[in-house]
């Protein structure tokens, strides 16, 4: 073959490689070296490309076209989930070539396949030449995740910068349609609407939707309460006429200037025809600035009302977005959200305590579920309970009634602060979850003695508890009791493992992923149920089995792996997989909420880019590894 033809083939190979990580970042000299040494090979459908029986892996394969099924060898290959599909740009078997051992997988062509092949000697020379390739091979998933974070950072930084600048158009600041009423609406109806919608102002519009007045919370005292104005009168009699309005194309600076000049707290945004399109408050302009952790903590700690805490919870969300834009990882971000939400919950409890007499009662407020694990995302409802002590001289029924009345107050206040009431009634105001220490211990013991399906489900929620306020020693005693009971009950632990293994990673044999067939969520994957849960359930079981008190999933994995002699790089890859799924959940929930929808966990893999799809597949593969260890350890 002539030199020109050879160079054309090399150039075509380089063009292909640059579409996929890590080659898209590889040093130019190393990429040229690789392209010159790759040889394209063809494998017909059903052909065995590589199997353990072929001995030490002497070749690195890189898929150029087609699909390859990777199936684990040995007994574990009999289980359905021990296989995954590889597509163009994916290489194999990295670990086997690096360690110079036989492959643990069998790789079979699912269709006609073209593969680039690189001899092992050239593979090692490439690792020496390229820092990028070396890192990729030794820290595979961590390397992919780093690239993904960089993409996310670029994506979110632009949106965050737009939100944080005073040059932002008013259209970008307005997040929801304004509430407005005609001038003849009764004062009573307006005040009730403002209270139910948790807003501080109401706009009055004429028949053409043009604003003619504004009524605010501060008007209630001076225009209604003090003068004794009848509530049946029309709102136009107490509104402030001719509210200040700006075109919706104006920017935040224009709104801030108008507020400063006219001593007002609200500016209306109108379209070209003068019709109302939104309301910008002083608060909205504040959130454009870089809200700092110290500011939010100070606001929460000094809040004198639930309304102030509700505004602080919105600041928590804004600051979380800023951190996401700055490339903060999912583990740190979920712990950060949980920590600030903990602080906010404690302040809610303190404010509610002023209205309740709990003197003489030893008690603690418990969080369950994701908050109990320090893993809250943007979309979370309440999961909480109370543990208390009731001495012989105390009236048990009256004591619980006092605690329940207090708990209802706290639950309702948290709901107003943006933490919805739990649809499953997993809240401290539920008499079944406001119990003495002895009653909690007996409840846990009953589930452990008789691990029926409902008991196992309860264990996945309530065993991840953490105290937020009150006497932490009560929660510590409950934790010791739980660990003592689970450690000595092998049947319960095996049943927990079997329950965890009922859900498998959604990896397809032909397609990359198995998506939801539910007509309400077609083509999606529930990253909570089919992603994060796989890691969380396994980590909980390992923690209970090794007497580990931690509730956070990453901490549980790290602490239990050291007792189980799991290599650091192996557990590191598992943790990276879990963190990537959490990161996708955070990103998706934020996107949904930005567009006025309730944040959920249903992600469409078809909408992910090539890098994200590859990492998600690898994350599910790490979940499968974790489940295989669970299966072996508990014979489940």
The DSSP code sequence of 438-473 is HHHHHHHHHHHHS--HHHHHHHHHHTS-EEEEE-HH
pLDDT of residue 452: 93
As a whole number of angstroms, the distance between CA 44 and CA 46 comes to: 6
Task: Answer whether 321's CB lies under 8 Å from 152's CB.
Answer: no
Q: How far is CA 119 from the centre of its chain?
A: 42
pLDDT of residue 81: 36
Rounded to the nearest integer, the mean pLDDT of the chain is 86
Please report which helix (H) or strand (E) contains residue 155, including its range.
helix 140-164
Share above pLDDT 70 across residues of the chain, in percent, rounded to a whole number: 89
> Which is more confidently placed, 77 or 286?
286
Task: Answer whether 551's CB lies under 8 Å from 479's CB.
Answer: no
In this predicted structure, the answer to whether residue 153 has a pLDDT above a threshold of 60 is no
Flag the least confident range among 249-263, 383-397, 440-454.
Answer: 249-263
As a whole number of angstroms, the distance between CA 229 and CA 305 comes to: 27
In this predicted structure, the answer to whether residue 434 has a pLDDT above a threshold of 60 is yes
In this predicted structure, the answer to whether residue 295 has a pLDDT above a threshold of 80 is no
Mean pLDDT across the stretch 77-84? 44
In this predicted structure, the answer to whether residue 190 has a pLDDT above a threshold of 70 is yes
pLDDT band at residue 393, thresholds of 50, 70 and 90?
A: confident
As a whole number of angstroms, the distance between CA 331 and CA 130 comes to: 30
> Which is more confidently placed, 33 or 258?
33
pLDDT of residue 261: 67
Q: How far is CA 258 from the centre of its chain?
A: 39
pLDDT of residue 385: 97
> Which is more confidently placed, 158 or 71?
71
In this predicted structure, the answer to whether residue 546 has a pLDDT above a threshold of 70 is yes
pLDDT of residue 255: 81
In this predicted structure, the answer to whether residue 166 has a pLDDT above a threshold of 80 is no
> Which is more confidently placed, 421 or 290?
421
**Bridge partners, residue 241, by sequence:** 213
pLDDT of residue 590: 80
pLDDT of residue 17: 94
Task: Answer whether 374's CB lies under 8 Å from 335's CB.
Answer: yes
* Token pair listed for 103: 């492959």
pLDDT of residue 159: 54
pLDDT of residue 386: 98
As a whole number of angstroms, the distance between CA 323 and CA 90 comes to: 31
Please report which helix (H) or strand (E) contains residue 109, including its range.
strand 105-109
pLDDT of residue 76: 36
pLDDT in tens, 521-532: 889 999 999 999
In this predicted structure, the answer to whether residue 468 has a pLDDT above a threshold of 90 is yes
CA dist 198 to 49, 177, 316, 347, Å?
Answer: 63, 14, 18, 20
pLDDT of residue 158: 55
The single-letter DSSP state of residue 528 is: I
Highest mean pLDDT among 156-165, 385-394, 424-433: 424-433
Residue of 569, 579, 573, 581 whose CA lies nearest to 505: 581
As a whole number of angstroms, the distance between CA 360 and CA 619 comes to: 50
pLDDT in tens, 599-620: 789 999 988 877 788 889 888 9
CA dist 172 to 311, 314, 593, Å?
Answer: 19, 17, 14
pLDDT in tens, 470-497: 999 999 999 999 999 998 899 999 999 9
pLDDT of residue 75: 41
As a whole number of angstroms, the distance between CA 250 and CA 269 comes to: 8
Mean pLDDT across the stretch 240-258? 83
pLDDT of residue 210: 94
pLDDT in tens, 339-372: 888 989 999 999 999 999 898 899 999 999 999 9
């Amino acid at each position: 073959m002539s030199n020109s033809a050879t160079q054309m083939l090399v150039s075509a190979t380089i063009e292909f490689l640059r579409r996929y990580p890590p080659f898209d970042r590889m040093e130019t000299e190393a990429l040229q070296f690789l392209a010159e040494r790759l040889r394209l090979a063809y494998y017909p459908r059903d052909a065995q490309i590589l199997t353990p029986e072929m001995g030490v892996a002497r070749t690195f394969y890189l898929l150029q076209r087609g699909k390859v099924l990777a199936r684990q060898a040995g007994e574990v290959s009999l289980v359905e989930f021990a296989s995954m599909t590889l597509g163009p740009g994916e290489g194999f078997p990295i670990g086997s070539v690096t360690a110079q051992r036989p492959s643990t997988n069998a790789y079979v062509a699912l269709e006609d396949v073209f593969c680039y092949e690189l001899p092992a000697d050239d593979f090692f020379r490439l690792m020496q030449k390229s820092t990028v390739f070396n890192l990729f091979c030794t820290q595979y998933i961590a390397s992919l995740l780093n690239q993904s974070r960089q993409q996310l950072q670029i994506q979110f930084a632009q949106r965050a910068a737009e939100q944080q600048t005073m040059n932002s158009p008013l259209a970008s600041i307005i997040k929801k349609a304004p509430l407005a009423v005609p001038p003849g609406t009764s004062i009573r109806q307006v005040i009730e609407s403002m209270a139910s919608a948790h807003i501080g102002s109401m706009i009055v519009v004429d028949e053409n939707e043009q604003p003619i007045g504004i009524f605010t919370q501060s008007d209630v005292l001076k225009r209604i309460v003090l003068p004794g104005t009848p509530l049946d009168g029309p709102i136009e009699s107490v509104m402030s006429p001719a509210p200040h309005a700006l075109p919706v194309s104006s920017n935040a600076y224009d709104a801030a200037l108008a507020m400063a000049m006219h001593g007002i707290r609200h500016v209306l945004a109108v379209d070209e025809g003068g019709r109302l399109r939104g309301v910008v408050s002083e608060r909205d302009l504040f959130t454009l600035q870089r809200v700092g952790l110290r500011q939010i903590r100070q606001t929460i700690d000094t809040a004198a009302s639930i309304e102030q805490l509700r505004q602080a919870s919105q600041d928590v969300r804004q600051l979380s977005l800023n951190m996401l834009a700055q490339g903060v990882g999912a583990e740190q971000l979920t712990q950060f959200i949980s920590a600030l939400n903990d602080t906010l919950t404690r302040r809610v409890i303190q404010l509610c305590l002023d209205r309740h007499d709990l003197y003489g009662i030893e008690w603690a407020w418990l969080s369950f579920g994701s908050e109990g694990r320090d893993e809250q995302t943007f979309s979370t409802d309440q999961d909480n309970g109370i543990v208390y002590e009731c001495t012989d001289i105390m009236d048990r029924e009256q004591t619980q009634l006092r605690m329940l009345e207090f708990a209802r107050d706290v639950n309702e206040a948290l709901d107003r602060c943006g933490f919805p009431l739990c649809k499953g009634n997993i809240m401290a105001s539920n008499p079944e979850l406001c119990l003495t220490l002895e009653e909690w211990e007996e409840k846990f013991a009953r589930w452990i003695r008789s691990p029926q399906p409902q008991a196992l489900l309860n264990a996945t929620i309530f065993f991840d508890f953490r105290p937020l306020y009150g006497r932490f020693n009560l929660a510590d005693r409950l934790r010791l009791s739980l660990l003592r009971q689970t450690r000595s009950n092998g049947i319960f632990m095996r049943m927990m493992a079997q329950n965890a293994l009922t859900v498998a990673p959604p990896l397809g044999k032909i397609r990359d992923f198995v998506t939801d067939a539910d007509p309400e969520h077609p083509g999606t994957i529930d990253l909570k149920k089919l992603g994060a849960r796989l890691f969380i359930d396994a980590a909980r079981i390992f923690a209970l089995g090794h007497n580990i008190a931690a509730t956070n999933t990453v901490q549980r994995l790290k602490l239990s792996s050291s007792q189980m002699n799991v290599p650091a790089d192996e557990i590191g890859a598992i943790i990276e997989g879990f963190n990537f799924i959490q990161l996708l959940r955070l990103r998706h929930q934020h996107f949904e909420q930005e567009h006025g929808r309730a944040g959920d966990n249903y992600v469409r893999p078809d909408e992910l880019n090539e890098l994200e799809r590859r990492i998600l597949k690898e994350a599910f593969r790490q979940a499968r590894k974790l489940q295989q260890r669970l299966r072996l350890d508990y014979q489940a």
